[in-house]
Amino acid sequence: GRLEAVTQQMGYHPQYLDSFLKTQHYLMHMDGPLPFDCRHYIAIMAAARHQCRYLVNLHVLQFLRAGGDPQWLRGLEFIPPKLRNLNEINKILAHRPWLITKEHIEKLLKISEWSWSLAELVHAVVLLAHCHALASFVFGCGCEQDEGLGGRGSLSLGNQCFCEATAGNSCSQELLRINRKRSLDSCMELDSLRERMQRIHVETEGREEMRLLQQDREEGEGQGAEVGVWGGTEHHSDLSAGLFLLADPDGEVTGATNLACYMQDPDFGYQDFARRDEDQTQVFRVQDYSWEDHGFSLVNRLYSDIGHLLDEKFRMVDGLQSSAMAKRQGCEPSVFKRGIWNYIHCMFGIRYDDYDYAEVNQLLERMLKVYIKTVTCYPEKTNSEMFDRFWKQFKHSEKVHVNLLILEARMQAELLYALQAITQYMI
């Protein structure tokens, strides 16, 4: 079968791919505070903020595989209140993370029976930031443009999601070899899946209707102690129980057709961070709260080992070779990468006192800055023409490298704001 598009693109930088896959696998499939189905639903909520159908479809399938209730896929109105309460922080983190306050954290931690624990909230925040940033990469590298099960962005439905390919270990040389050669066609797998889903759709249509009627009656009588904070103890371990939700009448695999059902306030989006010299409190100063000195220790204490994985990923992207890119810009590789990183953080109101921001305009040409801002702040507006237009003389691998910098810088920015708010609450 084909490797899906994220793995294909990141495969240009195998060491980073290895680190990314380990982190993704740990977040989604290893022991942690959150139930497995909830992890994938949180990923769906995060990807939907940027209208990233590619990631939504991937996690819809993984949600069902994890035993998730198919009814949740009807939208936020059908999920437990505890999970629905995460919507506000998801919205703010995705578009204007500087608006996160300790009050948002307090609200989630102190809502009677629907309250979150600190460990659960940290896990959720890391998931949200991870998926928001990954959506930027998906759009930035063109994975979304070729969405669908038969295109370049095809998902390996019959196998594991891309993070499971490593089984939690380092990425195998075989995986990388296949990736470099690209992959074989998956038409036979797709046809088989379509036939199976058509059959499931017919067989389960009547049974599902009866189940919903029975569920409505039970809910009317009250679920009492049998319902937990995540919305019940019943799980649908059989993937076929919900697959028909992903097939249209013609048997075409369509995935999530209406992403709007997974978010509220769809008009809420990025706005330029306006730094006012007379109001320095608006600016997030890394000297006061940094990943290395504050964020790492907090996240690692509340969600064991994730801090080490994230830190490795941040360091890995910083260590990628970019001599060709820097040479074309007439500067040292570290200077060029820092310019991109600090420009991204600047758009989110994060400032470094030891950096001269005049360098950004000298290092980054206008088209590159437009591309970076679009992919970072509103990736859903990115198109293939933008990708082709910036740095025509650069190799594809170098463009992927820029998108990896965007992914990691954006993720760290969101984490800094969220973790600072959690720290303020704890104080």
Per DSSP, 117 falls in state P
Q: What is the dihedral of CA 192, 253, 23, 44, to 10 degrees?
A: -150
Cβ(167)–Cβ(78) below 8 Å: no
Cβ(320)–Cβ(397) below 8 Å: no
Q: Which two tokens stand for residue 144?
A: 């979304």
Catalytic-role residue among 38, 52, 141, 377: 52
163's enclosing H/E stretch is none
Per DSSP, 247 falls in state B
Mark whether 131 is an active-site residue.
Answer: no
How far is Cα 385 from Cα 37, in angstroms, rounded to an integer? 37
Give me the phi and psi of 352, to 5 degrees please.
Answer: -110, 120
Beta strands in 280-423 (DSSP E): 284-285, 350-351
State the sign of the Cα–Cα–Cα–Cα dihedral 84, 426, 349, 133: negative
| Placement of tokens 């209208």 in the chain | 51
Q: Secondary structure of 370-426 in the HEC alphabet?
A: HHHHHHHHCHHHCCHHHHHHCCCCCCHHHHHHHHHHHHHHHHHHHHHHHHHHHHHHH
Q: Which two tokens stand for residue 191?
A: 């046809």
Closest by Cα among 173, 175, 161, 156 to 24 = 161
CA Rg, the chain, in Å? Answer: 22
Q: How many CB atoms lie within 10 A of CB 294?
A: 16
Chain centroid offset of residue 162 CA? 13
- Please enumerate in sequence order all residues whose Cβ is within 8 A of that of 406, keeping only pairs 6 or more positions apart, or say none: 133, 136, 137, 140, 340, 344, 372, 375, 376
Catalytic residues: 52
